[in-house]
Amino acid sequence: MKKHKMALLGVPLLALSATASAQGSVTLYGVLDTLVAVGQGSLTDRTQLTHSGNTTTRIGVRGVEDLGGGWSAGFVLEGGILTDNGAGMASNANNQAGAPSLGAAQGLTFNRRSTLSLFSPWGELRLGRDYVPSYSNMNTFDSFGNAGVGTAIMALLGVTSSTPAGIRASNSIAYHLPAGTLGGLYGNAMIAWGENAQGTPNEDDGDYQGVRLGWAQGPWNVAFATGKLKQLGNDSRPRNYGFTYNFGTVTYALGFADERLGGIKGKGIQTGVEWRVGVGQVRASYGSYKRETGLEPETRKLAVGYVHNLSKRTAVYTTFAHVSNKGGAGYALNGSTTAANQSSRGLDIGLRHAF
């Protein structure tokens, strides 16, 4: 049997708009986003084929079942994919450092989201692994949707991106306000456990609490979030707030971050616009971030980009970004390296397809 004959087989998943049965629906979905990413720094440059320049790549299955009386059950299982090589991404079991790096041997996990929910008229109870409130909230103010070289730097200290439970927490129980019934009010509160053995010095490590509260009405979307993660001698406390205002074809965003990691504080500001132009979208943002330690290292980033939608599901895009550093900072873009106080540039050119 020749390989090309295999292409005739397979189970077509009918691409209809959701004609869910009375009992509910289950959906297979995903995003592939592959790009050429160029980085330039004062020390080394880099060119890569990589993933997630416009939207983070993923594959997932989600479902919802109507239980009657305004109640329903639902789930999401969603994992990241390195579309440049096909590997998956690891999860984190206990909201603490130390997950192994398996590179291209990393199999698919549902690292992005693994949740089981019970919805009622009074809100949603959500169990499992999910975004922490402060990360969902920060994303509101990022005109580049936290993907690619244009990603906001308002939380550069890493409290909301590279620390454990900075983006997501495992072992979490969350309550989400019901959608659409509170006059624009939305929000959620989450607790998560590190699940360490009792009686050890790091007994509480990985324990997390956080909350998000926002209000979206007409052109306004105003949101605030804060959280706290225990990590032996290095607790983190992310916090951010801001708003977006929609002028019609233009959406303006302004956000502030104020974070603490152990004894270090950091402050960020992020502002940007998204402008719909025909089937395209122009995006621009400016952000700065300063650590309140030593020489007060500071980084500033300017990013501009264009997304050309070939359809509702498919787009080509490009983003250019420039960062400048001072106070000893040496932040560089797209895998390049740059010396302290030097600048760096990055360019993304990619293709994104959702299904």
Which residues inside 164-193 make contact with its own copies, applying CB under 8 A?
170-173, 192-193
Q: Which one of residues 42, 61, 178, 275 is an interface residue with its own copies (CB under 8 A)?
A: 61
Q: Which of 250, 299, 289, 239 is nearest to 272 (CA)?
A: 250
Contact flag: residue 81 with its own copies (CB under 8 A): yes
Q: Which of 34, 202, 293, 324 binds its own copies (CB under 8 A)?
A: 34
Q: Taking the complex as a whole, how short is the minimal distance between the CB of residue 40 and its own copies, in angstroms? A: 11
Residue 141 Cβ vs its own copies, minimum distance, rounded to whole Å: 12
Region of 89-97, 149-157, 214-222, 318-326 interacting with its own copies (CB under 8 A): 89-97
Polymer length of the chain:
355
Binding positions for its own copies, 124-153, rule CB under 8 A: 125, 127-129, 139, 145
Does 345 engage in binding with its own copies (CB under 8 A)? no
C-alpha dihedral (13, 14, 19, 24), degrees to nearest 10: -10
Buried b (16+ CB within 10 A) or exposed e, 131-154: bbbbbbbbbbbbbbbbbbbbbbbb
- Does 55 sit near its own copies (CB under 8 A)? yes
Measured CA to CA, the distance from residue 167 to residue 162 in angstroms comes to: 8
* Residue numbers 293-312 binding its own copies by CB under 8 A: 307, 310-312
Please state, in angstroms and rounded to a whole number, the distance separating the CA atoms of residues 229 and 191. 10
Assess 204 for contact with its own copies (CB under 8 A): no
Category of 182 on φ-ψ map: left (φ > 0), alpha (ψ -120 to 50) or beta? alpha
In the complex with its own copies, which residue's Cβ is closer, 61 or 222?
A: 61
- Asked if 235 interacts with its own copies (CB under 8 A), we say no
